Structure 1
């Protein structure tokens, strides 16, 4: 990454974060019962402010999972709770949370610029950060996932496994790294790195989750029960009328599972043939993330950040970046305008639902491009090895 590209990427990221903070923070003066509808009308909604208003506005601080049922994994529950100790009420809580998320973004960008073949510009330069950096806590698992990938690239599998576990304990998305990473390490033939990755993964998962699972099993497991019971929400399946049931579960998990399987096959093949297994893993993660957000039964607008991360890992073309930036900005405004209009049928059916279909198709277009690169990466090493063998003189 050249110094000019680095300055542009980090400068744009800082600018988008500043604009996003000013846009969203104005909602802290409306925190409480009326916040959601006010923020929908002003297109500045944030789960950080909304959930603070639900839980901490009166000064209480119920312990996550033990006294407070939270629909997120453990690390996000803690990330919601800890800033409640900051002075300044809703504004203080949001400011501290946003500052941590901004640090997570810059940590992710620093990790990306050290990953071979990555293009941090995809994540740092997207104007989607204005809308999504403070909408939820997704920049935290994104930073942990980038850290895990960097640890693996630098032959630190134990740290890679631990960071993968922490990312998965914040949101499930980083978990897509574990299967292809394990296959790449197994295919390499050395047992020690594989064991270190598995040990780091298991130890961190248990250390973070087991205390809560033992102390408050109902509170800890609410995340899983809550999401298992959800139907199609704001997704392509909602737009196409697939509300809930077995068909929805197959449609929403099948593409992601297929992407993970392809990632595993490519990582194994590259490792066994002496190819670039690290790049195969990174492309596999990018493919799984993109397929997941495009076809998941639930769509939240900030999921676009995982798509831009995928584009960064795959170094996808600039044309796709520009199209997806425009689509992500439009998607935010349409998503909250339909709520401000209280789901008026004509706007929902003729604007909101078509937007959901177009959005998914665009992310699937990125997934198709990444899948092609993954296929090329998996096949490159055997082809090069064969060519070298043919061109080398016989030793017999």
Structure 2
């Protein structure tokens, strides 16, 4: 094939993705518009921030983590001023802060510029993530990526935190795995875990399907590459900035129950056992139980589950048992929920619940101390309807995915004649180990 023919082939393949990229760019732009009331001065007043639903971590953390003056990992700053994120994300913040300081002499102007530059990065990450998701879904289901590109919950949550960076890396990992490029998949997975911790749940999904299919070499290569990539970016900080590096892990362990979590409801109601004690232990025990159920399901299903189905169930279990469930966590789950079960009815129900939670959390915070604006906010009971709305709707989606696994003929993806469009080496692989075979 000549270079001209190769270029023509590439263009032919890329053209169908262009509309998705443009729609994702529109979603990224709408997410910026949502926060304009804050960008023009609202961040300096919490009441204005909450009642305009335009809160973001990006602007205040520029000051609170002293990004304006020093590297938060290496500088001798108080423990509560260190960046509580894994190192890839922390250094992304640091690099953008350097650029902001070079462009603006005034600290307030620097913080606004820091926000703008971060939003550019996140908007690009959203576009890339959407295009990668479309490639993962395959030609017949490419348009399912619209859910990630422009769904209201994604637009509202896009710029609360830096989660879209990890989302792009995660979708890149799934695409590399689909194309059986295990080393690249592992590198992207390692970088994703070093950006946000939740992609670690994908390792368990890969392991379970490897156990069922006995495709061990690809799994081991990917795991080794992931561990190598994670160590490559973490080891310098572990050696030269131990206190700054461990901040994320100490914070995750010591953090109390926070907004959005079901555990907060139990504490609020004063329920024994569930509302007291070490919630870290309770959350971990609950997660282990759910993951054990997912493992049994994977190995007992009449037909090997699809990779996206197991990734979705594992990640949903992680979110539902966590001590905190921030509004932006919806960005973690949207691509996997759509890949696992592209049925619009439960997805719409869940999106409505996420929108209601997005509104409820800010109105609830308005009424809490130190603001105590009961005239503008909502009370406990109204807020917890939003908390349980998310839990119940995600639980409904999980139940449908479980049904699809137990009754593969109900799976919309497999009804289209596919086996596992995300599976890579698992696609079409025969069973080598199942619980039924073990019993026999």
TM-score norm. by structure 1 comes to 0.83
Larger CA deviation: 259-268 vs 291-300: 259-268
> Is it true that 1:362 corresponds to 2:393 in the alignment?
yes
Q: Which SS does the other structure have where 2:91 is aligned?
A: helix
1:76 to 81, 89, 92: 89
Structure 1 residue 377: Cα displacement: 5.3
Q: CA RMSD in A?
A: 3.3
Unaligned segments of structure 2, at least 5 residues:
1-12, 105-109, 268-273, 420-428, 432-440
Correspondences of 1:41-120 after superposition (within 5 Å): 41-56=51-66, 59-64=68-73, 66-67=75-76, 69-86=82-99, 87-88=103-104, 89-116=110-137, 119-120=144-145
Match of 1:193 in 2: 218
Is contact 1:122–1:311 with CA below 8 Å preserved after alignment? no
Structure 1 residue 29: Cα displacement: 4.4
Structure 1 residue 100: Cα displacement: 1.0
Match of 1:149 in 2: 174
Larger CA deviation: 255-264 vs 315-324: 255-264
Structure 1 residue 133: Cα displacement: 0.8
1:348 to 379, 395, 406: 379
Structure 1 residue 191: Cα displacement: 4.9
Q: Which SS does the other structure have where 1:120 is aligned?
A: helix
Tell me how far apart the structure 2 counterparts of residues 13 and 342 of structure 1 sit (CA, whole Å): 35
Structure 1 residue 51: Cα displacement: 0.4
Is contact 1:144–1:164 with CA below 8 Å preserved after alignment? yes
2:402 to 364, 371, 377: 371
- Residues 3-45 of structure 1 show CA distances to partners (whole Å, capped at 9, x for unaligned) of 999677545433332122123244244487x454542232200
Tell me how far apart the structure 2 counterparts of residues 191 and 354 of structure 1 sit (CA, whole Å): 45
Judged with a 3 Å threshold, the aligned counterparts in structure 2 of structure 1 residues 349 and 169 are, in CA distance, closer, same or farther, namely: same
> Is it true that 1:252 corresponds to 2:283 in the alignment?
yes
- Residues 231-280 of structure 1 show CA distances to partners (whole Å, capped at 9, x for unaligned) of 2212122112244523x33543345434544555566679xx9x76xx62
Give the number of equivalent residue pairs: 375
- Residues 203-239 of structure 1 show CA distances to partners (whole Å, capped at 9, x for unaligned) of 1111011111111222211111112112221212211
Is contact 1:107–1:143 with CA below 8 Å preserved after alignment? yes
Match of 1:167 in 2: 192
TM-score norm. by structure 2 comes to 0.75
Match of 2:262 in 1: 236
